[in-house]
């Protein structure tokens, strides 16, 4: 009878007479039915019981609906209206309101589906500005998320892996060998990262997070990215390391073929959070997220989904998980040059091609200087912020952060003028301490090119103007042993020359 009740409720919500509209759009996910009609969206939890969710009774679904509205109200204000009840009257007809309780429904304001970030990705509408806003929004959300001290950091991730193992065991889409191989790699990665996971939990990095932070759960409302549709049905799943929460978005971007955007989101998020101690965990976390997607899609296939398309997707996610668990040798590339030489542009293009996904951490002097003064990267600083004593702190931070990331197994692109030999020595010492070669280059361009580029800048973290360039070039240039690269050639050629100098020579 319970299954029939939900079937009847779905038919009720599919009926355009229910909404007084000309059309009703029905969208199905692995745990929900969504109905779009006029200016409203109605969501029903599917009557399923899986290793990670139990929606098997109307009462459990009601509790989850109420929790969904409560949790998402903070991240998407105005989007969630409330919970409505579908009931039967004495004649057995369904309606919203009092009567024999049949099914709970989450009611939301309908928004344009083209405002979903996954649609925007397909349409080529995601850009650096939007994803910078999203990264900062997520950083604020994680900052305010409640700390949860239920178990150690390693035990928390072990519980996630246990859910994955149980879920893979319930379907037969993947052969036993490939599942066993990935499972073994996960166990090895968990053991290797256990101490770091535990220390992060001690520092309060395990919090009640969104839990399902992929592109489809971010939408553009009022010109601002907003999170919605968080995990409301299982606090154990949503209580995770904040970087594991972020990793779903990074993995989603990477899997969809937007590695540059994944690298940008990671860098902008870490700029805001100063959470670089966990940088080396990101490939592991992304791999777990890919495995989650693999078994969720496999469940959809088992329930009669579009087999060919979904089977291909599931296998691609499992393969991504395996590749993310592979060990990658870290690299340190240091880029110096006068203002206007294109250091930041080259660093952005280079970072995604270094190390394991989501690529290298960019340690950029301009952003560090702004962070030291407690202002956003786009805020202009006065000349006092560029005193020698301040710059010494900036270069010390570049070396310190580079060393920390390299020791954790991550790759680094350090971006600064590096016109003083003392500052160059600092980053070279960091590379020696980490045991990673320092691949240092100096971008060289003529004065007309430098002046033209500086004059044409729009926004960005750099405060350099023509007077700053003049001061840089008027100073005594200390002896330079770094490899010189022509900065007037296309960015792609510069990147290739940095990565494979022997092919260019």
Indicate the DSSP class of residue 47.
S
Per-residue DSSP letter, 280: G
**What's the Cα-to-Cα distance from 303 to each of 122, 171, 465, rounded to whole Å?**
26, 10, 61
Stretch 331-339: mean pLDDT: 95
Read off the tokens for 450: 């430098």
- Position 502 scores a pLDDT of 64
Q: What count of Cα atoms within 13 Å lies in the side-chain half-sphere of residue 266?
A: 38
Cβ atoms within 10 A of the Cβ of 291, count? 29
What mean pLDDT comes out for the span 25-35? 91
- Whole-number Å distance between alpha carbons of 162 and 199: 21
Work out the angle between the directed axes of helices 153-169 and 176-202 (0-180°, nearest 10). Answer: 160
For the chain, how far is it from start to end, CA to CA, in angstroms? 76
CATH 3.40.50.300 residue ranges of the chain are 332-504
Residue recorded with tokens 């398309």 = 309
388-409: per-residue pLDDT in tens? 899 999 999 999 999 999 998 9
Which residue did the predictor score with more confidence, 148 or 236? Answer: 148
- Name the token pair of 372: 């030291």
Between the CA of residue 167 and those of 283, 289, 302, what are the distances in Å?
21, 13, 12
What is residue 380's predicted lDDT score, i.e. its pLDDT? 86
**Could you report the per-residue pLDDT of 452-494, keeping only the tens digit for each?**
888 887 777 887 778 877 787 776 667 688 999 999 999 999 9
Q: In angstroms, what CA-CA distances link 117 with 30, 146, 253, 264?
A: 19, 26, 10, 15
CA distance 160 to 290: 12
Q: Which residues contact 425 (CB under 8 A, 6 or more apart)?
A: none
Q: What is the mean pLDDT of residues 279-301?
A: 93
| Mean pLDDT of all residues in 141-154 | 95
Interior/surface letters 253-286, b for 16+ CB within 10 angstroms, e for the rest: bbbbebbbbbbbbbbbbbbbbebbbbbbbbbbbb
Tokens of 185: 């790699």
Whole-number Å distance between alpha carbons of 149 and 161: 19
* Residue of higher predicted confidence among 488 and 304: 488
Average pLDDT value for residue range 211-233 = 93
Would you place residue 274 in the very low, low, confident or very high pLDDT band (cuts 50, 70, 90)?
confident
pLDDT of 61 above 80: yes
Mean pLDDT of 360-389: 90
Q: Which of 371, 373, 395, 396 is nearest to 383 (CA)?
A: 373
According to DSSP, the residues that pair with 439 across neighbouring strands are 333
Question: Contacts by 79-86 with C-beta closer than 8 Å and gap 24+?
Answer: 79/108, 79/109, 79/111, 79/221, 79/226, 79/228, 80/106, 80/107, 80/108, 80/109, 80/228, 81/40, 81/107, 81/108, 81/109, 82/106, 82/107, 83/107, 84/42, 86/9, 86/12, 86/13
Average pLDDT over residues 420-438: 95
Q: Which residue has the higher pLDDT, 477 or 342?
A: 342
pLDDT band for position 500 (50/70/90)?
A: confident
pLDDT at 497 exceeding the cut of 70: yes
Give the rounded percent of residues in the chain with a pLDDT score beyond 90: 72
For residues 239-251, average pLDDT? 98
List every span in the chain annotated with CATH 3.90.1200.10: 117-324
Please, are residues 120 and 129 in contact by the beta-carbon 8 Å criterion?
A: no
CATH topology of domain 117-324: Aminoglycoside 3'-phosphotransferase; Chain: A, domain 2 (3.90.1200)
Higher pLDDT, 410 or 236: 410
Question: What is the pTM (predicted TM-score) of this model?
Answer: 0.91
The pLDDT value recorded for residue 2 is 60
Dist. CA 51–CA 309, nearest whole Å: 24
pLDDT of residue 504 exceeding 60:
no
Cβ neighbours of residue 419 closer than 8 Å, sequence gap 6 or more? 336, 338, 472, 475, 477, 478
Residue 305 has pLDDT above 70, yes or no: no
Tally the C-alpha atoms within 13 A of residue 130's C-alpha that lie toward its C-beta: 21
* 170-174, 220-224, 430-434: least confidently modelled range: 170-174
In this structure, whether the domain defined by 332-504 belongs to CATH 3.40.50.300 is answered with yes
What is the Cα–Cα distance from 444 to 485, expressed in whole angstroms? Answer: 6
- State the average pLDDT over residues 239-244: 97
Rg (CA), the chain: 26
The predicted pLDDT at position 57 comes to 93
Q: Give pLDDT tens digits for 71-119.
A: 998 899 889 999 999 999 999 999 999 999 999 999 999 998 899 999 9
pLDDT at 505 over 70: no
pLDDT-based confidence at residue 271 (cuts at 50, 70, 90)? very high
The mean predicted confidence, pLDDT, of the chain is 92
Q: If we measure between CA atoms, which residue out of 260, 275, 209 comes closest to residue 71?
A: 209
- Weakest mean pLDDT among 37-51, 144-158, 261-275, 299-313: 299-313
Res 52: pLDDT: 79
Peptide bond into 113 cis (omega under 30): no
Asked whether the predicted pLDDT for residue 319 surpasses 90, the reply is: yes
């Amino acid at each position: 009878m319970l299954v029939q009740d939900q079937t009847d409720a779905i038919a009720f919500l599919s009926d355009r007479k229910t909404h007084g509209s000309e059309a009703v759009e029905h969208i199905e996910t692995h745990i929900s039915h969504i109905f779009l009609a006029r200016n409203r969206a109605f969501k029903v939890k599917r009557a399923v019981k899986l290793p990670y969710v139990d929606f098997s009774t109307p009462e459990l679904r009601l509790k989850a609906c109420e929790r969904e509205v409560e949790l998402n109200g903070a991240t998407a204000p105005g989007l969630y209206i409330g919970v409505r009840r579908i009931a039967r009257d004495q004649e057995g007809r369904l309606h919203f309101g009092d009567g024999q309780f049949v099914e709970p429904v989450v009611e939301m304001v309908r928004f344009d589906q083209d405002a979903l970030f996954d649609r925007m990705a397909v349409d080529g509408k995601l850009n650096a500005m939007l994803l910078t806003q999203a990264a900062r929004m997520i950083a604020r959300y994680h900052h305010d998320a409640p700390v949860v001290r239920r178990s150690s950091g390693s035990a928390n991730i072990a519980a996630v892996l246990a859910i994955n193992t149980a879920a893979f065991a319930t379907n037969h889409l993947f052969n036993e060998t490939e599942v066993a191989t990935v499972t073994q790699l996960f166990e090895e990665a968990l053991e290797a990262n256990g101490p770091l996971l535990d220390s992060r939990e001690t520092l309060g990095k395990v919090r009640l997070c969104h839990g399902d932070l992929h592109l489809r759960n971010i939408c553009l409302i009022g010109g601002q990215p907003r999170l919605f549709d968080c995990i409301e049905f299982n606090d154990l799943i949503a209580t995770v390391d904040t970087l594991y929460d972020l990793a779903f978005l990074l993995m989603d971007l990477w899997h969809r073929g937007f590695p540059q955007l994944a690298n940008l989101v990671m860098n902008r998020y870490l700029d805001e959070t100063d959470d670089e101690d966990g940088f080396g965990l990101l490939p592991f976390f992304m791999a777990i997220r890919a495995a989650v997607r693999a078994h969720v899609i496999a469940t959809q296939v088992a329930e009669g989904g579009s087999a060919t398309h979904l089977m291909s997707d599931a296998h691609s996610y499992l393969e991504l998980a395996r590749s993310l668990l592979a060990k990658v040798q870290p690299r340190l590339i240091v880029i110096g040059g006068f203002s206007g030489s294109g250091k930041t542009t080259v660093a952005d293009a280079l970072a995604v091609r270094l190390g394991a996904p989501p690529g290298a951490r960019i340690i950029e002097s301009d952003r560090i200087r702004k962070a030291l003064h407690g202002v956003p990267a786009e805020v202009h600083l006065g000349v006092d912020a560029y005193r020698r004593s301040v710059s010494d702190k900036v270069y010390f931070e570049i070396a310190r952060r580079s060393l920390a990331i390299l020791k954790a197994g991550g790759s680094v692109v350090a971006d600064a003028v590096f016109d003083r030999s003392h500052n160059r020595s600092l980053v070279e010492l960091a590379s020696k301490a980490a045991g990673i070669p320092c691949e240092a280059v100096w971008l060289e361009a003529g004065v007309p090119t430098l002046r033209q580029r500086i004059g044409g800048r729009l926004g960005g973290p750099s405060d350099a103007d023509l007077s700053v360039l003049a001061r840089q070039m008027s100073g005594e240039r200390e002896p330079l042993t770094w490899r010189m690269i022509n900065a007037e050639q296309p960015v792609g050629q510069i990147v290739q020359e940095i990565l494979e100098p022997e092919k260019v020579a």
